[in-house]
Amino acid sequence: MDEDTKQSIIDAEHLKLLRWGYFFSGAMTVFFSLFGLAYAAMGFMFVNFPVPDGQNPPPEWFGLIFGIVGTVMAVLMWVLAAAKFRVAKALRERTMRRVSTQHLTPLSETRAWCSPSTRC
């Protein structure tokens, strides 16, 4: 077995492990998004459930802040988990595309200190 074949086998195993790592990380992100839903539920309870007699209820804005922060936190974590699952799928299919730095920085060719013979 030549060196290139060995390296391609090792690279394939590393990609498989990386893929499983993204699945695990995405699952943990979904699990921890439940904390955001718990905050949203607490905000809902602060606003809608009655307070026992003789006690002052918390202000309504307090429950709204809990609900909004919890909902935003849960949605952002779901988006992050979806992105992690997408990366895991792309690793399996090996279809991930690289983003060229020239697309990110369109003025990179106009730098005064760059010449055509040097890399910037």
DSSP-derived secondary structure for 4-30? HHHHHHHHHHHHHHHHHHHHHHHHHHH
The per-residue pLDDT for 94 is 76
The per-residue pLDDT for 51 is 79
- Report residue 55 as tokens: 């006690």
- Start-to-end Cα distance in the chain: 39
- Report residue 67 as tokens: 């609900």
The per-residue pLDDT for 99 is 47
The per-residue pLDDT for 116 is 54
pTM: 0.70
* 25 Cβ contact list (under 8 Å, min separation 6): 84
- Angle made by CA atoms 73, 56, 34, in degrees to the nearest 5: 20
Q: Where are the domains of the chain?
A: 3-95
The whole-number mean pLDDT for each consecutive block of 10 residues of the chain, a chain of 120 residues, reads 88 90 95 95 88 81 92 96 91 67 49 52
